[in-house]
Amino acid sequence: MREQVTKLVVKNTTSLKETIEAIDKGALGIALVVDEGNKFCGLATDGDIRRALLQGFTLEDKIEAVMQKNPVIAKTTTPRSTLLQMMSERIRHIPLLDEQGEIADLASYLHRVTLPVAEPEVGDKELEYVTECITSNWISSVGKFVTQFEEEFAHFCGTKYAVATSNGTVALHLALAVLGVGAGDEVIVPTLTFIATANTVTYTGAKPVFVDSEPDTWNIDPEKIGPAITPRTRAIIPVHLYGHPANMEPIIELAEKYNLYVIEDAAEAHGATYNSRIVGSIGDMGCFSFFGNKIITTGEGGMITTNNKEFEQKARMLRDHGVSPDKKYWHPVIGFNYRLTNIQAAIGVAQLEKVDRVLDRKREIAMFYNSLLKDVTGITLPPEASWAKNVFWMYSILIEEEYGIGRDELIAKLKESGVDSRPVFYPIHTMPPYRQDIVLPVAEELGSKGISLPSGIGLKDEEIERVASLIKK
């Protein structure tokens, strides 16, 4: 037991007076009561004791007489996300008991004085499926969960096929490799995105060509793609940034006109829709990430979705060292090891079971933020085009400096109050490896004014209110 928790423990025969002293020393406002066998038997808050004294108990009475005999408790193995759901303004501490019923630790709401921008939510199902991998010994990249995860994810996206990869970055690299993109080629990408979108193009030897964003969606501006196309252009990678789908129709039209491929970078937008079509099913291939802060997670992980059988088969082959599908250990081409493990896929299967709830809560959080921030001068709320369903991966807004403080100052102020936030992505053409003497004004403005706020689905409404009121202040 942690020393901090030891201080809170008293015997059931302890007097109210001594219990008050223990509560005072522990500084959490509660005492944990154990019986003569050292098993947990109750909990007392300073409020419980105060009420008892008002009712006529004396300081010499035993704590046993006034303690809560059936408080909320949990096991040491209870997942953190479940504990958070069990807590509230009223229940701020939950004793964690071991197999013997002895106190092993205390879970406290106070641990959440810092609100993270994002956090994974893994629970009992994930544990159950991962345990199955361990007990059955299927822990590497072959196993039933990999196949199941691929099939169910394809179903989720409405595509015929899905190929799991070890992360989202290599999903993009693999998709480019499938298309044979390489040295001498150009690939069009938005400048406002996570750096991986551009890096994967560079890995192939091709050159990423950066295009500005449109103010209405923050995504690649289809009107600015045309002028960026050259005879060397092979593909376009629209990114569905922060969960808002890119404007796909004009992008697909351009691709058809100039004979280009379209790879959707859907790493941040699982379940988002463009005119009712789910992202990842619109271009030639879609690429997803299951990193810890994404909509659903496998720790690290990725996926390629496609309706093209040839692409699927090539992706499988290149994912596995370019091995021949018909002849083991025969490698007609150079491939990679980009496989996902059965353990990761097991987590993914459990995450997919609850993806609808995750997406509902994401939207709820965004709508609640919107309602709290909509009338604040100097704030632009996140976009949602009429044809789009934004899944609000990270709730992001724009801050106009002239109405108060600037974005970076706001991030620092929020940090002081225990609220994590982060700037939206810096446009890639402004960073050292890709620095270019060009101006892409919309992306540069979004990049300088945008801030992403805590958006994890474990957030409670009162925590969202706290963030909103800090911003208003």
User: Nearest to residue 428, comparing CAs of 438, 416, 417, 415?
Assistant: 438
Binding mask 166-205 for ligand PLP (x = CB under 6 A): -xxx-----------------------xx-xx--------
From the candidates 7, 294, 314, 449, give the one annotated as an active-site residue: 294
Q: Which of 138, 145, 161, 291 binds ligand PLP (CB under 6 A)?
A: 291
Q: Which of 34, 122, 201, 239 binds ligand PLP (CB under 6 A)?
A: 239
Between CA 223 and CA 220 the distance in angstroms is 9
Dihedral angle sign, alpha carbons of residues 321, 324, 328, 331: negative
Please identify, among the stretches 19-27, 161-169, 324-332, 375-383, the one whose residues bind ligand PLP according to the rule CB under 6 A.
Answer: 161-169
User: Nearest to residue 162, comparing CAs of 266, 51, 41, 11?
Assistant: 266
Q: Does 302 bind ligand PLP (CB under 6 A)?
A: yes
Please identify, among the stretches 92-100, 203-211, 261-269, 320-328, the one whose residues bind ligand PLP according to the rule CB under 6 A.
Answer: 261-269
- Whose Cβ is closer to ligand PLP: residue 169's or residue 191's? 169
Strand partners, 38: none
Q: How far is the CB of 400 from ligand PLP (least distance, A)?
A: 26
Please identify, among the stretches 33-41, 99-107, 162-170, 274-282, the one whose residues bind ligand PLP according to the rule CB under 6 A.
Answer: 162-170
Longest pairwise C-alpha distance within the chain: 90
- Whose Cβ is closer to ligand PLP: residue 30's or residue 239's? 239
The torsion of the CA quartet 197, 200, 202, 207, rounded to 10 degrees, works out to -50
- Whose Cβ is closer to ligand PLP: residue 95's or residue 302's? 302
Between CA 139 and CA 131 the distance in angstroms is 10
Q: Within positions 10 to 69, which residues make up the interface with ligand PLP, using CB under 6 A?
A: none
Q: How far is the CB of 172 from ligand PLP (least distance, A)?
A: 6
Q: Does 163 bind ligand PLP (CB under 6 A)?
A: no
Q: Does 268 bind ligand PLP (CB under 6 A)?
A: yes
Active site residue 327: no
Q: How far is the CB of 335 from ligand PLP (least distance, A)?
A: 18
Please identify, among the stretches 93-101, 224-232, 264-272, 451-459, the one whose residues bind ligand PLP according to the rule CB under 6 A.
Answer: 264-272
Q: How far is the CB of 260 from ligand PLP (least distance, A)?
A: 19
Cβ neighbours of 256 (radius 10 Å): 10
Pairing of strands 388-389, 273-274: antiparallel
- Whose Cβ is closer to ligand PLP: residue 245's or residue 302's? 302
What positions carry a catalytic annotation?
294
